[in-house]
Amino acid sequence: MVRIGCGAGFGGDRLEPAVRLLEDGALDYLVLECLAERTIGLGQKRRMHDPASGYDPLLERRLRPLLPLLKEKGTRIVTNMGSANPLAAGRKIAGLAGELGLDITVAVVTGDDVLSVLDPEAPSMEDGRPLSSYGRILSANAYLGADAILPALQSGADVVITGRVADPSLVVAPLAHHFGWDLGDAARVGQGTVVGHLLECAGQITGGYFADPGRKDVPGLADLGFPFADVDADGNCVLGKVAGTGGLITAATVKEQLLYEVTDPTGYVTPDVIADFRSVRIAPLGPDRVEVSGGTGRNRPDTLKVSVGYHAGYVGEGEISYAGANALARARLAGEVLHQRLASQFPDLRVECLGGEAYRYGFLEGREPTREYRLRIVGRAQTQEIAEEIGREVEALLTNGPAGGGGARKYIQETVGIVSALLPRTKIAHQVTVMRSAS
């Protein structure tokens, strides 16, 4: 039996649940999954300005309370916080450990950055257009698998840090290492991938993103405990969390996470396996304890998915509120004014009315009027200067627009778009670099 916990499910996740897991969870491995699709593109841009950056901006804050506990608890960390610069992240961790007076080894997994070997004229998986036609390419990272992480674990390192790897591989690799699995054993790796997929979003399986008051009540959301899995040599597991933490684990929370972001439950493709979820069995054993077994799979694919980040311009955005008497008509008029002033400059412009079912419609179409509306206008531009026009026009409504508009806000965001391509495994070489803290 091996116990693997997940202490972060995305880059901005809460910091303290991982500390609680490490302190009281009796973990063998602590996984921190912090990499969203566009994170590496943004990291690559930071790295261009400063070659020592490009890794997860919360790396130090997240790891500082964890590193001193690793030896005492006998736990090893596996994380993808290396983002666009895993080697710099490794040096940062070794330096931080040294500063804390700790003797720690860090193994860095590289090889996911395939920008130099990717053909920019290759077709995208999304619509077959050449990758270069989307915009200036910023990054290209292959999803590495457990085979790339395994040598890092075999080095004995306390912390394994990667760039882009498939999320479930962060769990499959420690399982394969612990039990000596052959990575070609598709049945075991398939069930291991189920475990990884269940753990990778951390709180999303312990009652986070689940509560629907009156239907699905969750205790203690403000102090949500993060999950661990006790996994046996075949990959079957019992999910649990630290006693006394908030949240809950039930068959229902596990089912929601099992199907989360799965575009084909009969063939969930990772670099390790094509996993099949149709035979997965979910059995509650007691409070916050659920057994998951039966996942299987077919042989891994010959190609790896590459996530390509491209410059997608700047998005300018502004918001303003209208409430009380005739609020909807005033919000609508404000929207019309903004549209009139901006449409010629912004071919890609969207006006929404929050409070008026904005997520479905550009504008309310006559259902259940409320007493308060927030008008939102957003558009894309090639330069920041042009994108800023949108916020300025929204602010100008304060003295030029309909009566009673308030709470004007403006935002600018540089955007990185993502498209995907496939690359043969033979084009990708992964390496491990081991570093030791200087205490």
Partner 1 sequence: MSIRLHDIAHCRAGDKGNTSTLSVIAYDEAMYPLLCRALTAEAVKAHLSRNIEGEVTRYEMPNVGALQFVCRQALHSGVTTSLTIDPHGKCLSSELLEIEIPEA
Task: Give me the least distance between CB of 257 and partner 1, in Å please.
Answer: 8
Task: Give me the least distance between CB of 209 and partner 1, in Å please.
Answer: 7
Interface residue list for partner 1 (CB under 8 A) = 37-38, 126, 209-210, 212, 215-216, 252, 255-266, 277-282, 294, 312, 315, 348, 350, 352, 354, 358-361, 376, 378-380, 415-418, 420
Which CB sits closer to partner 1, 112 or 352?
352
Which CB sits closer to partner 1, 61 or 281?
281
Count other C-beta atoms under 10 Å from residue 246's C-beta: 18
Task: Give me the least distance between CB of 150 and partner 1, in Å please.
Answer: 26
Q: What torsion, rounded to 10 degrees, do the Cα atoms 338, 343, 346, 352 define?
A: 50
Task: Give me the least distance between CB of 373 and partner 1, in Å please.
Answer: 13
Q: How far apart are CA 32 and CA 81, in angstroms?
A: 8
Q: How far apart are CA 109 and CA 215, in angstroms?
A: 44
Q: What torsion, rounded to 10 degrees, do the Cα atoms 167, 172, 175, 176 define?
A: -140
Helical residues (DSSP H) of 283-356, grouped into ranges? 327-342
Task: Give me the least distance between CB of 108 and partner 1, in Å please.
Answer: 27
Task: Give me the least distance between CB of 262 and partner 1, in Å please.
Answer: 6
Angle at 309 between CA 272 and CA 257, to 5 degrees: 45
Q: How far apart are CA 390 and CA 412, in angstroms?
A: 9
Report the SS3 class of residue 213: coil
Angle at 34 between CA 90 and CA 20, to 5 degrees: 90
Residue 146 DSSP one-character state: H
Query: Is the four-CA dihedral 262, 119, 164, 434 of positive or negative sign?
Result: positive
Q: How far apart are CA 332 and CA 350, in angstroms?
A: 13
Q: Are 395 and 349 in contact (CB under 8 A)?
A: no
Which CB sits closer to partner 1, 259 or 429?
259
Single-letter code of the amino acid located at 205? I
Which CB sits closer to partner 1, 14 or 38?
38
Which CB sits closer to partner 1, 18 or 131?
131
Which CB sits closer to partner 1, 47 or 376?
376
Report the SS3 class of residue 298: strand
Q: Are 112 and 144 in contact (CB under 8 A)?
A: yes
Report the SS3 class of residue 223: helix
Task: Give me the least distance between CB of 51 and partner 1, in Å please.
Answer: 25
Which CB sits closer to partner 1, 272 or 317?
317
- Report in angstroms the alpha-carbon separations of 334 from 84, 270, 278, 384, 411: 42, 48, 51, 24, 18
Residue 362 DSSP one-character state: S
Task: Give me the least distance between CB of 417 and partner 1, in Å please.
Answer: 5
Task: Give me the least distance between CB of 234 and partner 1, in Å please.
Answer: 18
Which CB sits closer to partner 1, 74 or 265?
265
Which CB sits closer to partner 1, 69 or 122?
122
Which CB sits closer to partner 1, 139 or 437?
139
Task: Give me the least distance between CB of 92 and partner 1, in Å please.
Answer: 27
Q: How far apart are CA 271 and CA 173, in angstroms?
A: 12
